[in-house]
Amino acid sequence: MRPFTYERATDSRAAVTAVSRAGAKYISGGTNLLDLMKLDIEQPSHLVDISRLPLKDIDELPDGGLRIGAQAVNSDVAADGRVRTRYPVLSQALLAGASGQLRNKASVGGNLLQRTRCPYFSDTAAACNKREPGSGCSAIGGFNRIHAILGASDACIATHPSDMAVAMTALDAQVELLGADQAVRHVALVDFHRLPGNTPHIETVLQPGEMITAVVLPPPPPGRQLYRKVRDRASYAFALVSVAAIVAAERGTITAARVAFGGVAHKPWRGTEAEAALIDHPASGATFRAAADAAFASAVGRGHNNFKIELAKRTLYRTLAQVTQPDEDTP
């Protein structure tokens, strides 16, 4: 690990000012950053600790939504009664991610900013445009079983690892940011992460020094919610494919639908094509198959990950079939 200096921020505005200097980075739970520093992937010269800032609260909003502080830890958000009752897809996604120990440490803001688990990104001997722009992408033509099937480019086919962000994308969450000029702005989570294009090293729309202060959830959408994660082992593994689905139906017809995917793209992927194929159609197998086909019509496999296209379709089908089942006490 390279030498670095450290300071503990006393307030949000001071933290933003401190990180505006060259080579500085925020550190919160450190569950991703410290690992990457040990691998010499991240090389900050100065760390600004924001873990003790008063940004841990989960507050009610007048419209019925929630404002979740960026320093709230994943386990606290998953266990919050309001989240479990009104946003169960988020609680389910958080509990599907990592171990209890990591959830007790990892922050909401840090979860959104965690970097890809592509093995070539983590290997300094491999070519990786995300780590070293212009060096190439070893995953293209290499072992790419876990890599993207949607939204990738010839520069990068890595995937985003967050479960939480997938659920929040389906919930139409907004990310609250504090800038170097001390101005506050909100960005829709669906627009927060960037696709790779020719600049895969630029992963979000964050401006230099900008800090996540909260995530804002709008009032709960109508319908039932479900998060399904498919992975190589039952725990402590990143998603091959995950689906967050929120579906409302009346008299057997789908009246509202939101779908988001994880493990398939460089960012949490909103399934707008699937949603269009669901709304105003019967809650039936034929509709679910049509939605799956629409969602992955543009999917591209790179060899080892070809299976993910069919896996993603089947995962969406299974999730939709489960989330649209009538409650047991419904006559």
pLDDT digits 0-9 by tens, 128-158: 999 999 999 999 999 999 999 999 999 999 9
Q: What CA–CA distances, in Å, run from 52 to 69, 126, 194?
A: 12, 37, 29
pLDDT digits (tens, 9 = 90+) for 181-191: 999 999 999 99
Task: Identify the residue with better confidence: 219 or 326.
Answer: 219
Distance between CA 283 and CA 264 in Å, rounded? 25
Residue 288 corresponds to which tokens in the numbers above? 């679910």
Assess whether pLDDT exceeds 80 at residue 330. no
Coil, helix or strand for 158?
coil
Average pLDDT, the chain: 96
pLDDT reported for residue 327: 64
pLDDT reported for residue 236: 83
Name the band, by pLDDT with cuts 50, 70 and 90, for residue 234: confident
Residue 16 corresponds to which tokens in the numbers above? 């933003």
DSSP 205-242: -PPTT-EEEEEEEPSPPSSEEEEEEE-SSSSS---SEE
Helices (H) and strands (E) in the chain, counts: 12, 12
pLDDT reported for residue 94: 97
Those residues whose C-beta lies under 8 Å from the C-beta of residue 306, and which sit 6 or more positions away, are none
Name the band, by pLDDT with cuts 50, 70 and 90, for residue 1: confident
Residues in the chain: 331
The percent of residues in the chain predicted with pLDDT above 70, rounded, is 98
Kindly report the backbone phi and psi dihedral angles of residue 321, in degrees, each rounded to the nearest multiple of 5, phi listed first: -60, -40
Distance between CA 128 and CA 140 in Å, rounded? 10
pLDDT digits (tens, 9 = 90+) for 39-59: 999 999 999 999 999 999 999
CB atoms within 10 A of CB 245: 29
State the chain's maximal CA–CA distance in angstroms: 66
Distance between CA 55 and CA 150 in Å, rounded? 34
Distance between CA 156 and CA 189 in Å, rounded? 21
Nearest to 238 by CA among 313, 309, 308, 318: 308
What is the average pLDDT across 109-117? Answer: 97
Coil, helix or strand for 259?
strand
Assess whether pLDDT exceeds 60 at residue 121. yes
Alpha carbon 73 to its chain centroid, in Å, reads 15
Q: Taking the model in full, what pTM does it have?
A: 0.96
